[in-house]
Structure 1
Amino acid sequence: MSVELRLGPMLRHVTESSATVWVETDTPGTVTVIAGHGHTERRASTETFTVHGHHFALCDLDGLPSGHALPYRVLLDDTQVWPQPGAVHPPSLIRTLDPDAPVRIAFGSCHRAAPHTTETDTVLGVDMLRSYAARLARERSVDGAPSTPVYGEPSVLLLLGDQVYADEVTEGMQAFLQQRRAAATPERRQADPPADEVVFFDEYAELYRQAWSDPDLRWLLSTVPTLMLFDDHDVRDDWNTSGSWRQNIAEQPWWRSRITSGLGAYWVYQHLGNLSAKDRDADPVLSSVHRTEGDAAAVVDEFAWRAHELPGSYQWSYRFDIANSRVLMLDTRCGRIVDNDAHRTMQDPDTEAWLAAQLTGDVDHLILASSLPFLLPTGVHYLEAWNEAVCAGRWGAGLRGTGERLRQAFDLEHWPAFHASFQWMSDAVLDLASGQRGPAPASVLFLGGDVHFSYLATAYPRQTVGGVAPIVQLVCSPTRNRLPTKLRWATWLAARRITGWCTALMARLAGVGAPALRWRIEDGPHYENTVATLVLRGRSAEVYWEHPALPGTTGAPATSARPGSEVRELTHHTLTD
């Protein structure tokens, strides 16, 4: 019987001398990854583990040469399953980090996987990740070695939420759900799942397979180190918006299966690969899975339900060091404390304590990445701060219900809707940027997504505190999910100063104090499908956004074998010299 990969390989956590490769296989067995050849050859083998009938493995290669790009192969029970026969892309490479080279952090969010047709491109736009992959493949020579691209290859790709859409499925996924549920067990039928949403683990497994099986995207994820964070659509729109939302959704008979499957699938498909081998060895859930004979579904389901019921029982946030800079990938969804509208926090106390310990100097750049932008257009910021105050009863108990309906209708649940957390983070970042937490970094950079438009905002202390390192918000969203025209006008209006003044007055009348930071949008909003790249050279930093170059647009070729396969720069900024 032939064996093959069901999904992957995916190049995940990478350091100067190690790399993790994630795979899903169609049968249990031994997975071996072989990188390089001759005296540079390194190999690692591991047994698959099984969750809900699906088989996974993470292979950790160590002792790799720093700053090298090594082609690699994947074997399942001694049968090569990658590269696949007849592969049209260059060989997949394991690229270790080079401490002496510029750091290039590519990032983006919100990727709707759908067929690449004229109809879907009209609705969603051309897939920027696919265009990015096509450009990268062209820049590699036949033997897989990189050529000399304009900006260089990415050191790491950060996908900041909504990697899959469990509540907005494609026609292909809809067909799978119909077929699967036609033969469902009585227990599943009793749960009465929504016909057009993913609920069970096997459905999530198919959702991930369809989302990441496009040949260009699959190759991209196999050859660029990738770290990920969830946002709401990885589970369900508006996930953990408020205590009322949690209470209402819990009444649905299918919700326990949905949240258990969503978090369990995220842990397997996305989170485990974010961790170093050392951190993964210390993960109590993975240890329990490895100790389980046969299928570990019960272990993962129990863990996922506990993570939902008890925010803080598992830490989803993590740290990634690159050169002399620090990236903190922050959970802004599962760890929320929202039961009491009068005291809502973006993170549970344990995660906040962990974050406080990471916000120290002695790094070139401190990067805080979360699915949600920290600094929104001021018109939206103060509207969300006002809404939180109304929901807490600042304008009387009678308006709390109205405030909650507005919150859920207009997605008023970003950082400013958690005023205490926003103030805490602002104070901590100001301390860091002014050198009160050790020598100040050259910059403090917030990365975000979610909002379906891209922009750059610069922040300043509201009160003079002496020399402060630049504090900048960089947002890149979406990679593929076009914002409807009416919402574009709404976001444009929200970015106007007069809108900010009006909503700031509303917030003050609701008793909301002025934040420790003030900020303004320097560039944007931009509505194209984009990938941004942050380039760090020691203590200097620059950022640029790129998007698909369609025929007839500036920078696009006169003819193209595939529309959107070319990429052009949208905007470029120097952050620190």
Structure 2
Amino acid sequence: MNYQSGNEYLHDMPLILAGPMLQHTEPESVTVWIALQQACQVELKVYDTTNNGTVLGDSLFQGRRSTIALGKSLHIVAVTARSLDMYRLRSDRIYAYDLQFIDQTDQTQQTLQQALCCNRFPTVNISYFAHQKPTFVLPPNNLQDLRIVHGSCRKPHGHGFDTLPILDCLIEETASQPRQRPHQLFLTGDQIYGDDVAEPLLWVSSMLGDALLGWEERLPVTQKQPGDVAYYTPKQLPPGDRADVVTHQGGFTAGLDNKRAKVVSHLLSLGEYYASYLLIWSPVCWPNAFPQGREMMRTRKATRQWDQQVQNLRQFIHTLWKVRRALANIPMYSIFDDHDVSDDWNLNQAWCLRVLGQPLGQRAVQNALLAYAVSQAWGNTPWQFEAEQSGEKLLAAAHKWSASQGTDTAAYEAIARYVGMPPNNAHTGLPEFVPDGSVLVLDRHPEALTWHYTVRSNCHEVIVLDTRTWRGYPAEQKPTAPPMLLCPQTFERQLSVPLQQASGIPATMVIAPTNVFGLKVIDKIHHWQLQRDKVFATDVGDAWNINSKALAKFLTTLFEQRQKIVVLSGDIHYSSAVRLSFAGTSGNLATQSVLVQLTSSAMKNEETITRILHTRLKHWLLPEKVRHWIGWLNPPNMVEQRAKKSHRAQMKPDWNCALEWIPRQNIQTPNFGDRISWLKTPRQTAKNEKWQWLQQLMFWKYPWFQDGREVVGVNNLGLVHFELTDTNNSYKVMQDSYWFSCWYPTQIVYSRFESQLLPNQSLLPIEMNLRA
């Protein structure tokens, strides 16, 4: 392939570059997202099926929408189909869908199968049935039949095997069983990595991005001297050479604290962010061949790293066909976390001033948010992109920006307005903040898109939080002070209002991209780093419990409306389950409640420390103990109970709570988990066979040693389900964390976390303890 020529780069590719991906799906409508290389009108039809999904029935829903031209060779649409006669889809039935593509130039038509295939991809399978149509099921009526999959942190060149392909196995195993089949997928953050990009991945993203746009973006930089350059193009910032520009011109903090390697290939251009989404979800746009390290890098170390990263990427690409098929057959919802833009995104006020006050930093953040809007948010909340809505106005502005090859200032300003970029002060050049009680919030236009949303069915509701763009920064503290992850006004919008909109729903889930509760040792490290003002080293401020007032407000807001809460979270590269038992004494809190936090992370980004936590060493050396807090309502606050007295110890608390870690059960192997053949590339298989005798000597890989008790610290994917118990007709919630075994890598296993959805009475004292 010639990566300098967009036409040649895309010549051998099919019409469909990525997708189809099933997104927001409910009884009244079905939305499918797709990326094409030509402008088309896309027709979506939804069909009934019989015989457990094997036979297509009548067409029930129809919808049409034209693609939006985001570049010369990038045309995206999220098309929604609805019933013309008020028909509603039902639970416990398998439905299928099909797509037709009408070329807007010559009116020729292609079927879905034709649009998927080309000389390079002569056969593409995105179905589990002989009729070759993607299928799906709606959530069931009974909670005990509900199956929710979630995960986060999927870095293409991260260590270990990608676990998102396991979703394909889960669907394939139960494709004809609507009650057993996974019903929804929630990606809880870091779907792409704007920072910490492998050099070969940036090489592909940059060339693909320019090919998709059909033009080269001029990335603005600050001219300190009259003779300094005013802009860079992506080609002028090659892989491995972006650290200085990203850190000093963009202001990004990922390169601070000896983390320079995280930014040497940082994404910056709009084309690069667009390309990243196509590359993580589809095998189509990846090249057949990568150059060797010695052709691209200047030092031996960099050459070896390039070649190793290429091997990691080849493994990632090898299983992308399973990811593509899975995402076509399950409703997928997502929310961003920091890496979808850049490490530390909006971490604190200092980050906002440092990055959004720089032309390059502001441009990169806006590019990332625009790419997120068209690649993820459109499918999450399709109603925001209908006629006359902010999303449709954003799409029009994005089209004009690209059509002008990045010169239409009005279009650029419109994009900033609709993605919620704060305006910059005319005198200081710094982003504007507005007060919200005792905190400051980034200013935004009233027409800006909202990233939070709620998904409901007959048996559950999922409240998806935006904890990145509505942070409350303390007005009277230094700029590096930990923020409220939700400012006061958005507690009402994102939590109180959705909770008040429905009642009597058996299960309430909340998507919190950053953990509410984490390992105690991590809390101690965060507080220690905060005292040293080293907040960017370990993302101090991203965990809810680093700001006690915000955490107290979060808990009491939830428990005023619900007594049973399940939080789904990611971010921290391990899987775990914790249960918080809560007891209040006044008002709406005069009852006992429970919150179970289920964490699933990372899908592909395990680290040395998490692999150690995964083993029995963690439980032996540093076990998690029960923790207790007392709290107050006005003003909201909470204090962990310790031996020493607190300055508020004499004030009668309004509530108390206790946190316990739920141990994971013994490892099990699913029916589809033994000796899987699709996982390894031929080169990896040969290497494994060569050194297989050595595996038997590695005692730390033995199943017994790997069977830790507190976390799953290797790449994993979580499946959440419920079971009705005999205790007061209540439920218990379970998370099966699937991962690839260390002792036999071509084997899938899972560890189960199981918790009653009832508070632990033994941890809640009858009399409130007044000593903190």
Of residues 87, 103, 113, the one that matches 2:124 is 87
Secondary structure at 1:50 match in 2: strand
- Preserved CA contact (<8 Å) 1:312 1:350: no
Instruction: Tell me whether 1:458 sits opposite 2:579 in the alignment.
Output: yes
Shift of 1:196: 0.2
**What amino acid sits opposite 2:460 in the alignment?**
S
In structure 1, what is the equivalent of residue 421 of structure 2?
306
| Structure 1 residue aligned with 2:553 | 424
8 Å CA contact 2:209, 2:272 repeated in 1: no
The aligned counterpart of 1:231 is: 337
Secondary structure in structure 2 of the residue aligned to 1:420: helix
| CA separation of 1:306 and 1:552: change in aligned 2, threshold 3 A | closer
Q: Which residue of 1 aligns with 2:167?
A: 132
- Write out per-residue CA displacement over residues 489-538 of structure 1, whole angstroms, 9 at most, x where no aligned residue: 59877763499999976998899999953312122222022222222468
Which residue does 1:285 correspond to in 2? 390
Quote how far apart the aligned CAs of 1:76 are.
Answer: 1.8
Assess if the C-alpha contact under 8 Å between 1:103 and 1:322 holds in 2. Answer: no
One-letter code of the match for 1:417?
I
Give yes or no for contact 1:52–1:295 (8 Å, CA) kept in 2.
no
Shift of residue 138, structure 1, vs aligned partner:
4.9
Q: How does 1:386-405 map to 2 (within 5 A)?
A: 402=532, 404-405=533-534
Q: How far apart, in 1, do the equivalents of 2:643 and 2:600 lie?
A: 29
Contact 2:529 2:540 in 1 (8 A): yes
Q: Are 1:569 and 2:750 an aligned pair?
A: yes
After superposition, give the CA deviation of every residue in 1:127-176 in whole Å (9 maximum; x if it has no partner). Answer: 11112313433554xxxxx258xx82111011100001111223442223
Taking the aligned partners of 1:166 and 1:293, their CA distance within structure 2 comes to 20
Equivalent pair of 1:311/1:334 in contact (CA under 8 Å): no
- State how far apart, in whole Å, the 1-side matches of 2:476 and 2:470 are: 15
Match of 2:716 among 527, 530, 554: 530
Counterpart-to-counterpart distance in 1, 2:612 and 2:355 = 29
Residues 266 and 98 of structure 1: is their aligned pair in 2 closer, same or farther, counting only changes over 3 Å? same
Larger RCO (CA within 8 A; separation ≥ 6): 1
Are residues 4 and 270 of structure 1, via their aligned partners in 2, closer, same or farther at CA, if it must alter by over 3 Å? Answer: same
Counterparts of 1:143-162 in structure 2, within 5 Å, are 146=176, 152-162=180-190
2:565 alignment partner AA: V
**1:301-342 Cα shifts (integer Å, max 9, x gaps):** 443362685356543211111223221000111221226363
For residues 152-191 of structure 1, the aligned pairs below 5 Å read 152-176=180-204, 179=207, 184=216, 187=219, 190-191=231-232
Code of the aligned partner of 2:418: F
Question: Match for 2:40: what amino acid?
Answer: G
Higher mean C-alpha deviation, range 41-50 or range 259-268: 41-50
- The CA RMSD measured in Å over matched residues stands at 3.7
1:222 aligns with 2:337: no
From the superposition, tell whether residues 551 and 457 of structure 1 become closer, same or farther in structure 2 (CA, over 3 Å).
closer
Equivalent residue for 2:95, pick from 43, 46, 70? 70
After TM superposition, give the deviation of residue 430 of structure 1 in Å: 3.1
The amino acid that maps onto 1:334 is T
Matches within 5 A, 1:89-488: 89=126, 90=128, 91=132, 92-100=134-142, 102-114=145-157, 124-140=159-175, 146=176, 152-176=180-204, 179=207, 184=216, 187=219, 190-191=231-232, 192=245, 195-213=264-282, 214-250=320-356, 252-275=358-381, 277-281=382-386, 284-289=389-394, 294-295=399-400, 298=411, 299-304=414-419, 306=421, 310=442, 313=445, 314=448, 315-338=450-473, 340=475, 342=477, 344-354=483-493, 355-360=495-500, 361-381=503-523, 384=526, 402=532, 404-405=533-534, 407-413=535-541, 414-433=543-562, 440=563, 443-461=564-582, 467-485=591-609, 488=612
Distance in 2, matches of 1:541 and 1:282, equals 43
Q: Which amino acid in 2 is paired with 1:259?
A: V
Check whether the contact 1:32–1:74 (CA below 8 A) recurs between aligned residues.
yes
Q: Give the SS at the match of 1:526.
A: coil
Using the size of structure 1 for normalisation, the TM-score is 0.80
* Runs of 5+ consecutive residues of structure 2 not aligned to the other structure: 1-10, 48-55, 103-108, 118-122, 221-228, 233-244, 247-262, 283-319, 403-410, 424-430, 432-441, 630-638, 664-709, 725-729, 759-772
Alignment gaps of 5+ in structure 1: 115-122, 141-145, 391-401, 434-439, 554-562
Equivalent pairs, count: 529
- 1:543 is matched with 734
Equivalent in the alignment of 2:406: none
- Once the two structures are superposed, residues 330-357 of structure 1 have per-residue CA deviations (whole angstroms, 9 ceiling, x without a partner) of 0111221226363832123442211222
User: Max radius of gyration: which structure?
Assistant: 2
* Alpha-carbon offset, residue 474 of structure 1: 1.1
